[in-house]
Amino acid sequence: MNIECSMCGGKVPVPEDVIKGEVVSCTDCGLDYEIQNTDNGNVTLKTAEEVKEDWGE
- The residues of the shown chain that bind Zn ion, judged by CB under 5 A, are 5, 7-8, 10, 26, 28-29, 31
Nearer to Zn ion, 20 or 29 (CB): 29
Nearer to Zn ion, 26 or 43 (CB): 26
Q: Min. distance of Cβ 30 from Zn ion in angstroms? A: 7
Nearer to Zn ion, 3 or 57 (CB): 3
Strand 23-25 and strand 44-47: the pairing is unpaired
What is the enclosing helix (H) or strand (E) of 36?
strand 32-37
Q: Is 51 exposed, middle or buried (0-12, 13-18, 19+ CB in 10 A)?
A: middle
